[in-house]
Structure formats: structure tokens, C-alpha cells
Structure 1
Amino acid sequence: MGSSVYHPSMDRPGVFGGKPPKKKQNSAAWGCFGCLGLVALFSAVIWGLASIGSGGDGYTMNNKFEAIAQCEAQIESQLKAPSTAKFNSEATGSGTWTVTGTVDAENSFGAMIRSSYQCTVVMDEAKDTARTRIDYFE
């Protein structure tokens, strides 16, 4: 009478009569769905990139957000505690922008103070520069 001992290697195909693994069934339908999925993904990426650039011929520094950023940077340089600044700005114009707003920031005693300001920002797209003048800061 023989004793039989189990070992996990016995489950491998071809070893002690273990079961062979099930074969995956490849289907032509899944291949087609995969190709269609890739085409759809590629189309979505192209469409997304095209919609990003449809606003014009690319980046232009002559915009409201750049004018506001230029003015806020100048005002921030005048503050005692620039890291505490909270801006509320609006800009009007094109080429020459008028930026107005308020800033809440700490003074030298640590108290939050609200100040009003106005800047004139002149954009020079040819040179990719901006000139900013603080009209008032009270």
C-alpha cells in the first residue's frame, strides 16, 4: 500500500496528471471592438486638441488676465506683507488696459487693511513685454 503526498507542483500541466489551463477564446469581434475603441479614443484626443486652439492663432499676452496679473504684481511689491494679499481686480481695454480693484493685506502691525488701486498696463505684443504704471494705491 503506497502513500500519496500532495505538493502544489502537482497541479501544473504535465506533472502527475494535473489539469491543463483553460485556453482563452480569441474572438474576431473583440479585435474589431478594440480597433474601434482606439479610433474613438484617437478622434476624441484630436477633437479636444482642436477645440483648445480654436480660440485664435495661439497665445496672446494682450488679454485681461495678463493685464490683471501685471498690475497685481506691481501692487504686491508695494505691500508690507505680500503673502497675505487677497486681490479683487477687474480690467477693461485692449492693448492699453485699465485695471482697478481692492486688495486686503496685513499692514506692519498685522492688521488686515483694504486698499484700492488702479493701474494702466500697456501690452507690446511685438516685443512680448508689458509696461505697468500704478495710477493710485490708497
Structure 2
Amino acid sequence: MKKQLLHISSILAIFAFIFLAFGSDDDNSSSSADTNKMLAYNYAEDFVKQRLKSPSTAEFPGLFEKADHITELGNEEYRINSWVDSQNGFGAMIRSKFSCKIIFKDDKVRVEDLVID
């Protein structure tokens, strides 16, 4: 009986985690905003890779850390302050900080103020 209760409570815990992690259908605007934030980060990655000496070696933060590096500015604009590890011209892996603004406008995406330190 105890094993069965543990099994049921484990399943309930998993469902609770999924519900909390992905939200309910009642809050689609929040879900959409989160999707747009992550989309903005992905575009930032692409713009950063274009400026790296060895873009194929680029490693960015994991999903949960990325979320902390995005600030929603309103009007479909996002500030990204993050980092990337990549090989420099000598083949050594280095961490560089980057910052940029991603703007979604008229079905286009543009980057402003891209700085890589």
C-alpha cells in the first residue's frame, strides 16, 4: 500500500511540475510573451555568431539561465545581456559578454546596440 501511495504521489508531483512549468491555457498572453522573449534570445544568438571568429564553437547559457538574461522593454523590444563561450583566433575557448536590443517590427527582426566584450 505504501509503494502504491508513493507511486501515485510521484505521478501527481510530475503533473504539478508540468502544469507550473508550462502554465495553464487560461494565461496564453504570458505563454506568448515567454515565447517571444526566448525567440528574441535566439535571434540575439544568431547576430552574435555572425561576429565571432569561430561561430561553430559558440556555446550559450542553458534554457533556464537564458530566461534571466532577457528584459522585455515593451513594443516588441527586448534587451539581452548574456555571455557566449567560443574559440578565439588562437583556438582557446574564451567567455565574452554581449548585450543587444532585439526589435520585432513589421514582420522583421533587427538588432541594435550589439556589443561583445
Report the TM range for the smaller structure's normalisation: 0.5 to 0.7
2:43 corresponds to which of 53, 70, 85: 70
Amino acid aligned to 1:105 = S
Matched, 1:135 2:114: yes
Amino acid aligned to 1:72 = E
Gaps of 5+ in 1: 1-50
Matched, 1:92 2:71: yes
2:55 corresponds to which of 69, 72, 82: 82
Provide the TM-score with structure 1 as the length reference: 0.53
Q: Distance in 2 between matches of 1:107 and 1:67?
A: 25
Residue equivalent to 1:20: none
Matched, 1:115 2:96: yes
Q: Distance in 2 between matches of 1:52 and 1:121?
A: 27
Percent identical pairs in the alignment equals: 31
Q: Distance in 1 between matches of 2:113 and 2:49?
A: 11
Distance 1:136 1:52, change over 3 A: same
Deviations 1:65-111 (A, max 9, x none): 11101111110001111111111242111311100101000011110
Secondary structure of the corresponding residue to residue 55 of structure 1: helix
Secondary structure of the corresponding residue to residue 48 of structure 2: helix
Larger helix fraction of residues? 2
Q: Distance in 1 between matches of 2:81 and 2:50?
A: 16
Bigger relative contact order, structure 1 or 2 (CA pairs below 8 A, ≥6 apart)? 2
Compare 101-110 and 90-99 and name the one that shifted more: 90-99
Q: Is the 8 A contact 1:71 1:134 kept in 2?
A: no
Distance 1:134 1:71, change over 3 A: farther
* CA RMSD of superposed structures (Å): 2.4
